[in-house]
Amino acid sequence: MSIILDKVNYIYGSGTAYEIMALKDINLVIEDGQFIGIIGHTGSGKSTLIQHLNGLIKATSGGIYYNGEDISDSDFDKKKLRSKVGLVFQYPEHQLFEVNVFEDVCFGPRNLGLTEKEAQLRAFEALRMVGFEEELFYQSPFELSGGQKRRVAIAGVLAMKPEVLILDEPTAGLDPKGRDEILDQIKKLHETTNMSVILVSHSMEDVAKYVSRLIVMNQGQIMFDDTPKEVFRHYKKLEEIGLAAPQVTYIMNQLNEKGIPVNTNATTIEEAKEEILRVFHNRKDEPSF
């Protein structure tokens, strides 16, 4: 499985006085089983980009290929594509509408034309995958907490059995505990199913902790596409476009500037802790004269 974007451009308001170039010559390959983060300031093109991946937006020019097929071909099955490339929008709980949680998660599989038994089995499996409590399966979704609603919304997409899961700010509006629970569950899903995951986030700490590949969008173009460690080495360039690195990056660089020989590549608290302890132990072991 792969998604390939070849010189993709997109213009909002094409042919009008209000034309905006949202994407410019995007070349991108998303391979099977990757955990990718996408960051960028507001208006950078990241949300426009992900909506191209399952055909919600049609490129103004360029090609988008899913498993070698051009998704713009007239005979291409867009419905099947959207079941295989699942997109969870920001605040997806606003789209919950059924009388109870279980019925809401069944909606997608039923819409695929599956039997009632198959739809129910998929809903049950998806709710279990996101760690949702069984005693709440038949509760109204409107009586749940924000984090619980978010899990239900994600389960609704997982019930379609996608090969790629795209999440646009999945932790927006959640408290720190709810945010960690959601992201830990997504990480577990990725590790156990080898599903490709694309995470759009404003949190540098989150992408540093969870993703293995990080794409930085700026003015409709890809500015960086590398590991988080390599991307955050360019934190001064990120600052120039209104972004930043994780707080740990700044702390480690400040320590280094003050003569403490830490490795500045640490991007998570755990890595910084290990690096500081390493330097501390090395100094303890040095002979004194």
3-state secondary structure (DSSP) of residue 223:
strand
Rounded to an integer, what distance in angstroms lies between the CA atom of residue 84 and that of residue 285?
A: 55
Please, what is the average pLDDT of the chain? 91
Backbone angles phi, psi at 83, to 5 degrees: -80, -25
The reported pLDDT for the residue numbered 289 is 43
- DSSP-derived 3-state class of residue 26: strand
| Max CA pair span of the chain | 80
Spans of all domains in the chain: 246-289
Q: In this predicted model, what pLDDT tens digit does every residue of 57-82 receive, in sequence order?
A: 999 999 999 999 999 998 998 888 98
pTM for the model stands at: 0.90
Tell me which of 122 and 145 has the higher pLDDT.
122
Residues 244 and 166: their CA atoms lie apart, in Å, by 23
Q: What percent of the chain has pLDDT over 90?
A: 68
**By CB neighbour count within 10 A (0-12 exposed, 13-18 middle, 19+ buried), where does 36 fall?**
buried
Q: What is the pLDDT of residues 239-266, one digit of tens each?
A: 999 999 999 999 999 999 999 999 888 8
